[in-house]
């Protein structure tokens, strides 16, 4: 399965360019990756998310529990 087979899954470039809020959304709602490439992307996503401060109460409230 290629990365493009999962349009809901970000590319590494998207992860690198993402805002703290976008990273938080992916961190909370993105399904588990199915390939080694997805796992690399998830590892980087988590790393960047933590570098930007991780989940704060305000950010958690903003993105909600249902992603809307």
Q: Taking the CB of residue 49, how many other CB atoms lie within 10 A of it?
A: 20
pLDDT in tens, 6-55: 667 899 999 999 999 999 999 999 887 789 999 999 999 999 999 999 99
Q: What is the model's pTM?
A: 0.83
The pLDDT of residue 41 is: 95
Range 30-35 contact pairs with CB under 8 angstroms and sequence separation of 24 or more: 33/6, 33/9, 34/1, 34/6, 35/1, 35/3
Q: What is the pLDDT of residues 53-66, one digit of tens each?
A: 999 999 999 998 76
User: What tokens were used for 7?
Assistant: 């349009």
**pLDDT interval class at 68 (50, 70, 90):** very low
């Amino acid at each position: 399965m290629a990365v493009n087979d999962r349009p809901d899954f970000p590319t590494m470039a998207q992860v690198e360019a993402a805002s703290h809020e976008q990273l938080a959304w992916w961190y909370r709602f993105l399904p588990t990756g199915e390939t080694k490439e997805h796992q690399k992307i998830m590892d980087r996503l988590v790393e960047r998310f933590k570098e930007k401060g991780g989940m704060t109460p305000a950010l958690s409230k903003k993105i909600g529990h249902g992603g809307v």
